Amino acid sequence: MKKSILREYAKLIVRCGVNVQKGQEVLIHAGLDQPEFVAMVVDEAYKAKAGKVTVNWSYQPLTKLHARYQSVKTLGTVQEWEKQKLQHYVDTVPCRIHLISDDPDGLKGVNTAKLAKGRQLSYPILKPYSDARNGKEQWCGAAVPGVAWAKKLFPELSKNQAVEKLWEAILSASRVLDGDPIENWARHNANMEAHCRHLNELGIEKVRIFADNGTDITVGLIPEGQFCGGGETTKSGIFFNPNIPTEECFTSPKRGEAEGIVYSTKPLSYQGQLIDNFWMRFEGGKVVESHAEVGDEVLTTMLNMDEGARYLGEVAIVPQSSPINLSGLLFYNTLYDENAVCHLAIGMGFMDCLTDYHNRTLEEGRKLGINDSMIHTDFMIGCDSMNIDAICASGETVRIFENGNWAF
């Protein structure tokens, strides 16, 4: 891929993704296989007047070794120096950029139960720090093609050809290849905002989501809630785009109000392991029964992470006409596959899905029905036959989604 095009992508992530402010620190999470592109992002961050840029590198084979040899206690221990670093991030509120390039099967064979126990030990220690940053920081997730990921999508191609092909798909979906990327995103955000505004004006109390594959679930929404999409705004008024790409209008439903069954329509890569052909049945808002043809043990481990992991944290509407879906590719990557079709998420809900959320505390959000959990896992349920009916406070039922696309 031409360096000039990659430079435009790096600039988009910095300027439109996290919208770096003068003097602000930037924290980049990236894989060891992406040094050249990471250097571009660092350069663009400094050109945007960032005060300091730090890169946290990761490497999946090391994660596997840690999981194999460390005890559960060690996996779940948070050292004092780590707490000091987390407090520094609370105090300085850096931008966070997550560059995703991992192999979807990169942690295959890892003891998921052991990793889960380690995470359960560390979560109560880490949670206060993440809560303290909630609504204050800009962050952005974006993708970069790793070789193993590219070869999974294009096994018939050579490594270099597969990476090039995945670059083309990523840049196309991210609105980089045609025209000025930042102007493209301004228009896209305006379109997303218009769809969300229409949904919010309906006064929706519940949504019924159903399709020919057997999915049929009714989910209650929070009266004080709202649909969001595209960019977000921090409590200090900084606009940013948390996902590049994004095609979803989403909200966090009311905890305890979900009845029915949902069937997955795309595989889910959860912590480097695939879950496929699965279903979940909800009663009283909670997953009471589930099964996966592939990765059933991983699915069960995920649902048992904590008390909130079996409740919904998100309902997201994505038309089948989304550019990602029209590409015809299955990305095996949640950032992309969740923006191809409608999806739900189990686990943590979003405070910014409440009106006037900047002036609400986390405790208020929980009381209103925002779910709390250590996980937030999106899974895809959209298909060509999907319909969504909005049951409104007025008593009217409005079809908002029909045969996989917007009905308005």
Whether residue 398 contacts residue 312, with contact meaning beta carbons closer than 8 Å, is answered with no
Whether residue 260 contacts residue 282, with contact meaning beta carbons closer than 8 Å, is answered with yes
> pLDDT averaged over the chain?
96
> For 133-148, what is the mean pLDDT?
96
Q: Residue 271: its pLDDT value, please?
A: 83
Q: Residue 273: its pLDDT value, please?
A: 87
Q: Residue 272: its pLDDT value, please?
A: 82
Position 358 pLDDT exceeds 90? no
Band (pLDDT 50/70/90 cuts) for residue 324 is very high
Band (pLDDT 50/70/90 cuts) for residue 250 is very high
> For 348-352, what is the mean pLDDT?
95
pLDDT in tens, 56-109: 999 999 999 999 999 999 999 999 999 999 999 999 999 999 999 999 999 989
Position 112 pLDDT exceeds 90? no
pLDDT in tens, 380-401: 999 999 999 999 999 999 999 9
Query: What percent of the chain shows pLDDT beyond 90?
Result: 95
Bigger pLDDT: 315 vs 359: 315
Against a cut of 0.85, is the pTM above it? yes
Query: What percent of the chain shows pLDDT beyond 70?
Result: 100
Position 227 pLDDT exceeds 90? yes
Domain ranges of the chain: 3-173, 203-406
Q: Residue 269: its pLDDT value, please?
A: 87
Q: Which fold has domain 3-173?
A: Thermophilic metalloprotease-like (3.40.1830)
Band (pLDDT 50/70/90 cuts) for residue 311 is very high
Q: Residue 317: its pLDDT value, please?
A: 98
